[in-house]
Structure 1
Amino acid sequence: MHPSVELVLNHDSDDHGSLADRVAPLTDEFRLWELMSHYNWDEGFEIPLAVIRHPRCDRALALRLFWDLDDAAKEYLGSDTTDFGASYAPYDAEEAARVEEYCRILTEGLRHGRFPLGRNSFDTGFFGTDDPTLTERQRKLRAAKTALARRDYDDAFLHPAVAVA
């Protein structure tokens, strides 16, 4: 693991005020990806919020956060946002606000194309039927899966992110 990522992950539990500041020096989307690959979500949303605010957070990582790493943003997208905070009542008010802000920034950012393509890739499992590695059966399944998902999600949440060179 890169030392800059270890520094964020191995923070002193009494030093919560500086967690977001520790994310800022990560210089590229690979380090942000690595950080979120090892992040313990039980520690809250301060670091994930700092990651999606980071200028190097690319579309692939944002999609991965949305689909694979935590369900809060999917719940937020499918809920009446005025009641969303109630589902996070066990958290203190500050953490509940952080969760809601994380979800809002992530979903709006994906919907409106605010996360740039970067050097990370993420296959959402939707679209991509032109992938030459897929069999004809896999193409048909992917097309059907995409059609079903489009009932609940905008295309912005479904298109895979392919790394740019």
Structure 2
Amino acid sequence: MLQFLEFFGKQKVNLKTSITKSYHWRIKQLDNLERMLKENKSVFCDAVRKDFEVPFSESRCEIHAPIAIIEFTRLQLREWVAPTGLRGDSCSEQCELSLCRGAGVSGGSLVLLLNPVIASISSGNPVVLKANSDTPATNAILDELLPQYFEPADVAMCHG
């Protein structure tokens, strides 16, 4: 896990290059998140069951809900990023705003952590996830998997 200031700096540089504006960057990040969830379903389900003591069927919802949201977002994204026509020769273009921080809600599920991440990525923003101290098993999985699927300049996780 990188120190906060180190990956914050990398994300800030990444944002200034406008690389995150592109449709392809956004799709790549969504694909990476979906692949991470699908390839590690059982690991995530076990972590959620350990953190929340819920039945297997409920832990599966924690994985399938974000996957469904990613699929929906992917279908809509091209329209969302398209310039909007205005009067005359002007147009309005949707673009990234800044770095986004997704914080794990106290006692909150994986869905509550990942849904804002999906929205941030689809908006063209790099994301810093803040781990929730109530979910140590899920945090451990995310600490291990995020660097395998994302560049720290795109999506990273911090604690504390």
TM class, shorter-chain normalised?
under 0.3
Larger strand fraction of residues: 2
How high is the TM-score relative to the length of structure 2?
Answer: 0.24
How high is the TM-score relative to the length of structure 1?
Answer: 0.23
Higher RCO (Cα < 8 Å, 6 or more apart)? 2
